[in-house]
């Protein structure tokens, strides 16, 4: 394979660019230390000096590929916009990334590995869901709602990647998003178990306000206990 990286770049950048090219073209199995070294024009020990081991290299190349994706996610988190609308945009961006970068997506979310880049994407998701909670629009805790959205999004993309392109349902993404939003929030659930939903929504709203209030009426231990109780109320069956 012809070298796709410039020798003018520092070794670490050449290694990351080479690993990203190999990942995009051939999947995770193509990102061997020997192949990356050849593509980057370096000796294998250079990779170990820069990244420690292959897991360190895979974590770094994941972040390298995800950088623009994470930047786009952050640009969507307009504090003045409806968080439900932001969630839909984040969902669509997540699906788009998975379809366009399937090998990186599988490396990030489907290998039983926990990468710093994946943690950052989940953190952004949690921030937006936290706004729903602060507005009294969640029917469960922010943590559980974030886990629910993450599981729904990754599960959908994984299932689509397992299908041939002609077998994929273009409308299914929107259907799953709407059902996920309805499952975690009061949006679209008015009149169905409303009283219980209102109690949960108020519990989450108060829970999200606690870190900002720092009221002297409660000690730090008491605020921690109150937060635990509110989480229980929010996640009650």
Q: Are residues 83 and 196 in the same domain?
A: yes
Question: Which of 11-15, 91-95, 153-157, 217-221 is least confident?
Answer: 217-221
- 86 and 157 assigned to the same domain: yes
Q: Any residues with CB less than 8 A from the CB of 202 and at least 6 apart, and which? A: 136
**Does 2 have pLDDT greater than 60?**
no
For range 214-235, the mean pLDDT: 80
pLDDT of residue 5: 52
pLDDT in tens, 139-166: 999 999 999 999 999 999 999 999 998 9
* Judgement on whether residues 22 and 124 belong to the same structural domain of the protein: no
Predicted pLDDT at 78 = 92
Which residue among 26, 52, 78 closes a domain?
Answer: 52
| 125 and 152 housed in the same domain | yes
Question: In terms of domains, do 80 and 168 share one?
Answer: yes
Q: Tell whether 47 and 146 lie within a shared domain.
A: no
- For residue 6, the model assigns a pLDDT of 54
Q: Is residue 207 included in any domain, yes or no?
A: yes
Q: Would residue 61 count as lying in a domain?
A: no
pLDDT of residue 237: 54
Tokens of 89: 């945009």
Residues 119 and 220 in one domain: yes
Averaged pLDDT, 215-231: 81
Q: Which residues contact 119 (CB under 8 A, 6 or more apart)?
A: none
Tell me, what CATH number does 28's domain have? Answer: 1.10.10.60
pLDDT at 191 over 50: no
Could you list the residue range(s) of the whole structural domain that residue 151 is in? 66-234
Q: Is 58 within the bounds of a domain?
A: no
> For 13-27, 31-45, 150-164, 219-233, which range has the lowest pLDDT when averaged over its residues?
219-233
Q: How much is the pLDDT for 118?
A: 86
Q: What are 51-102's pLDDT values in tens digits?
A: 988 888 988 998 899 998 999 999 999 999 999 999 999 999 999 999 999 9
More confidently predicted of 176 and 116 = 176
The fraction of the chain above a pLDDT of 70, given in percent, is 90
Tokens of 21: 């090219």
Q: Higher confidence at residue 219 or residue 138?
A: 138
Residues 33 and 145 in one domain: no
Looking at the domain assignment, is residue 78 inside a domain? yes
Residue 60 covered by a domain: no
Same domain, 119 and 187: yes
The mean pLDDT value for 35-42 works out to: 93
Residue 188: per-residue pLDDT: 59
Residue 186 sits in the same domain as residue 70: yes
């Amino acid at each position: 394979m012809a070298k796709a990286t410039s020798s003018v770049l520092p070794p670490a950048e050449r290694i990351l660019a080479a690993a990203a090219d190999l990942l995009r073209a051939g999947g995770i199995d193509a990102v061997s230390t020997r192949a990356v070294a050849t593509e980057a024009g370096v000796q294998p020990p250079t990779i170990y000096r820069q990244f420690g081991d292959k897991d360190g290299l895979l974590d770094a190349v994941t972040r390298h590929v995800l950088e623009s994706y994470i930047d786009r996610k952050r640009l969507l988190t307009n504090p003045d916009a409806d968080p439900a609308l932001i969630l839909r945009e984040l969902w669509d961006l997540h699906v788009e990334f998975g379809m366009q970068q399937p090998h990186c997506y599988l490396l990030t979310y489907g290998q039983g590995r926990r990468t710093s880049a994946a943690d950052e994407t989940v953190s952004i998701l949690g921030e937006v869901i936290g706004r729903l909670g602060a507005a009294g629009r969640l029917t469960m805790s922010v943590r559980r709602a974030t886990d629910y959205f993450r599981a729904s999004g990754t599960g959908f993309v994984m299932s689509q990647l397992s299908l041939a392109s002609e077998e994929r349902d273009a409308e299914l993404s929107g259907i799953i998003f709407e059902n996920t939003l309805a499952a975690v929030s009061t949006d679209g659930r008015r009149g169905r178990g409303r009283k219980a939903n209102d109690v949960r929504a108020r519990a989450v709203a108060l829970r999200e306000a606690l870190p900002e209030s720092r009221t002297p009426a409660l000690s730090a231990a008491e605020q921690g206990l109150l937060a635990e109780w509110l989480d229980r109320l929010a996640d009650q069956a």
